[in-house]
Structure 1
Amino acid sequence: MKTFDLKAKRPLIISGPCSAETEEQTIETCKQIAATGMVDVLRAGIWKPRTKPGSFEGVGLKGLAWMSEARKETGLPFGLEVATAKHVEAALEFGADMLWIGARSTGNPFSVQEIADALKGTDITVLVKNPMTPDLDLWVGAVTRIRNAGIKNVGLIHRGFSAYGASLYRNNPMWHLAIEMRSRMPELPMICDPSHICGNRTYLQEVAQKSADLYYDGLILESHICPAKAWSDASQQVTPSDLETLLRSIVWRQSTADTPEFHDALAGLRRQIDQIDAELFELLSNRMRVSEQIGRVKKQNNVAVLQGGRWSSILDKAMAQAPQLGLSAEFLKTIMEAIHLESINLQNKIMNE
């Protein structure tokens, strides 16, 4: 088996139906996707890990035969998600060109190790999705287990993280965590999975473009010849025609520009940033010194650290200023909560000296 080189093309585009449902649906979808000329690797879910029993859990082995036929008819390689050693063995038997480990599996070191053991002695390309929980150590650990099995061509898939409560997305992207993961393993290509981040078609283009702006290496998007009738995740799939339109709309950024004008302009602006950062840190230091003084006054008068009404007033005032400052309310809230937490920690320390 020839290893699929993840770095041979940027952007690398992977697409296909969420699930292989029937032979006709699978092959026809793949043929229409291939006809766009925009896709490098075909995909389809063969085994579907479902939250609730009784849901459609994939067609199994016959789906691999359909994908093998789709590769033959389109000339495109195919990949799929695996969760057990038996999945790996079956995928290898049918000559899959690429495998990836799903979010549920990444979060379970026993599952990852089982997959890694089954991969020993092969040179197949393996992608590792982030775990469902925002735990980068689990993600790093899964990659390490796959590498320890001797797999050299490894990449990452950012598919968002599960979070409790209402959200714009099915899985919150938490871009800062993906950026941190790239800083930990900069040598690995990272593919964005807008389909699973969004959970719907509405925000696919927006999320895909943001990943391109952040210099991701490609996309994995779900496409179906008739999304409304899909047996799984109907709301996040697009037709091959809409897939082509979406992909043509994405502007892929370069890592740098090799012109003196660019470097001079960037250097000047970065010097401004450095100066502003220094001033910000000095102001924060001054603020915390005042918080320490407040803590001493509270201690002397046996008053609790947390004053809920005061905190609400500070936060409301900050939120009201967001539009005039040209800052998002979410950003201001995050900053103020971090400052508030540090202030509480300092005052607690004083209370218990």
Structure 2
Amino acid sequence: MTLQQNLKLDDVSLANYLEKQILGFKGPLTSNKFSDGQSNPTYLITAASGKYVLRRKPPGDLLKSAHAVDREFKVISALYKTNVPVAKAYHLCEDESVIGSMFYIMEFVDARIFWDPTLPKLNNLQRNAVYDEMNRVLTALHSVDIDSVGLSDYGRPGNYFQRQVSRWSKQYRDSETETIPEMDALISWLPKNLPVDDGRVTISHGDFRLDNMLFAKDSEKVLALVDWELSTLGHPFADLAYQCMQLRMQHGGLLSGLGGINRIELGIPTEEEYVAKYCQRMGIDNIPHWNFYLAFSFFRLASILQGVKKRSLIGNSSNKNAQQMAEQIKPLVKLAIKLIE
């Protein structure tokens, strides 16, 4: 049986199950898998009672701790009544016999997604407003009182970057398919240059970027921040650097950034302006060790894409563009090396 066959849902049995689990849910339903998304297969569920979204673990052999849809469900449930915009979570199913893997159901948010960071269909004022709104959402996330929302156990204690460097180095080695000298150099350099732990602990989204935000169709307001698979308790500067890292990447292609783009002409803030606005909102003066955080972000994304590449090679990827995304690994690593030379 192929991966795509494994990803097909039994709409009749799923409807019967959900009618018993979600108040007000009514079948019949039809399921359609979204073509976008790299890790956890995601479906639009159209039922008699309305539209919903289903996210599941992919079938097959998976890297340990990856595809944790139960963690996604936990964090968006906790954040739903905070200032962080998230979709409403309805039900988590841990019984793999229902569709073949763990999954959860959340509300469908009718919104728009911006795939191109240059925002070509908007004017300069709108572009500036979009980036300012992303900045606002990021600071709202990093301002959440983790104890009051029940997420004090959402991550491990200790130095976040130390743990993350160790984790992603291991993940990379577990899915390594060829020798990349620059990656070996990063794996050696990062643990030797860790900033002193400053004690900052916030919810870290882990994949904070433009196309993981659902914007209102008639304004620049974010209605929901999505794709929480990599979220944990961590250091706030990781999310900020990750977003700025992506905006440094070359424009165009599957992982498009703002590299080589004149932001001033488009009304998009520079990296310095964006970081300064974040600092202002968070009440801090500046961010030391910025190059480390950026280099770590490039390393981490390259490690994630290496896992995508490995799943593609063994036929266990849910995205047809997996191999093309994997081709970005070496360029990412080279960008990281430039930051530490």
In the superposition, the TM-score normalised over structure 2's length comes to 0.29
Query: Structure 1 or 2: larger helix share?
Result: 1
Highest relative contact order (Cα 8 Å, sep 6+), 1 or 2?
2
TM-score, length-normalised on structure 1?
Answer: 0.28
Structure whose CA Rg is larger:
1
